[in-house]
Amino acid sequence: MKFRALLTSTREGIQGIIRHPLVTLASFTTILLMLLLMSVFLLFSANARYITKRVAQQPPIEVYMKLESTQAERDVVISYLDQNNQWIIEYEQRTPEQNYLWFRENLGESASILDNFDYMTYLPYTFHIRLIDPSYADEFGMNMRAIPGVNKVLIESRVMDFLSMTGRWVNIGTFVAFSVLLLIAMFIISNMVRISVYSRSAEISIMKFVGATSGYIRLPYIIEGLFVGMVSAVGAWAIAYFTYQQVFDIMMANVNATSFYALLPIQSLSHWVMIMCLVTGMLIGGLGSAVSVRKYVKV
């Protein structure tokens, strides 16, 4: 297609938007609402995943060695942890003395009762491990228990299961909402094109008779769809950005930014929201128009 023809189609596409302001407004509003909902889901799921991850990582897996465990057995545990570092954020080995000091510290003013405690006899070596993903916990615990010298492995499995399940449901919810909204948007775009094609039927029939190609006839509608999708995307992003900023300011007013429950700042998410809105909006607008116009305009 020649550049001049592309320019003409772009002009026609923009004229189509102006010519049917109510139809354009309807499709713009629908795509905007859809993208806004998607942005809310994206922001929500990003925060849910972020919080889930941080909370899940907090209660570490605790591995208790047998009291009589040898240095060789502890080395096997260390070696296992080093070999599987793709699952692990960090781990720490605590000696009986460190565990003793930790107990004392937790007892505060009552720490004196442990003054004569023979920690080398009664306290084991322990490993405190933080996993990348709580869903690995069960398999990881099973492998650890199989290592000689390991007495028991404590996993906060219920918490981890819940967090893992929440994450999964958030993902499923996002996907379902996205699919339903996508179908609604496609339906409305299809109607937008149908109305637009109907109102320009005389023009289209003339175009066919003077030898316009299918591409030439269809392109203005695709450009119209792309443009509506793009404007809707920018609108949805702007609303999501400023609304989230307000919510963030209110919710984080009394929360420390390093807290487990701190929200992600909008600056770290806004570019993802923008990319998602633009790609989805233009895809829905352009593709929806292309599919519909193919159905209604045949040379």
Partner 1 sequence: MIRFEDVYKTYKTGTDALRGVSFKIEDGDFVFIIGKSGSGKSTIMKLITREERPTKGYVLVDRFPISKMHNALVPVLRRQIGMIFQDFRLIESKSVFENVAFAGEIVGMSPKKLSQMVGIVLSIVGLSHKANAMPLELSGGEQQRIAIARAMINDPKLIVADEPTGNLDPQTSESIMALLEQINRNGTTVIVCTHDSNLVDRMKKRVIEVDNGIIVRDECASGYCATPPPEDKISIIQAVSKPSFPNGEDERPAVKLEDI
Output 5 or 147, the one with its CB closest to partner 1. Answer: 5
CB of 6 to partner 1, least distance (A): 10
Total site size for partner 1, rule CB under 8 A: 18
Output 16 or 229, the one with its CB closest to partner 1. Answer: 16
Judged by CB under 8 A, which of 29, 213, 259, 268 binds partner 1? Answer: 213
Output 212 or 252, the one with its CB closest to partner 1. Answer: 212
Output 110 or 209, the one with its CB closest to partner 1. Answer: 209
Angstrom distance (rounded) from CA 127 to CA 14: 66
Using rule CB under 8 A, residue 223 touches partner 1: no
Using rule CB under 8 A, residue 129 touches partner 1: no
Output 3 or 118, the one with its CB closest to partner 1. Answer: 3
Using rule CB under 8 A, residue 299 touches partner 1: yes
Using rule CB under 8 A, residue 208 touches partner 1: yes
Stretch binding partner 1 (CB under 8 A), from 158-166, 204-212, 218-226, 280-288? 204-212
Six token digits for residue 266 = 């909008």
CB of 9 to partner 1, least distance (A): 10
Output 223 or 266, the one with its CB closest to partner 1. Answer: 223
Using rule CB under 8 A, residue 18 touches partner 1: no
Stretch binding partner 1 (CB under 8 A), from 91-99, 138-146, 148-156, 212-220? 212-220
Please answer whether residues 87 and 140 qualify as being in contact, where contact means their C-beta atoms are separated by less than 8 angstroms. Answer: yes
Q: In the complex, which residues of this chain contact partner 1 (CB under 8 A)?
A: 2, 4-5, 8, 202-203, 205-214, 216, 299
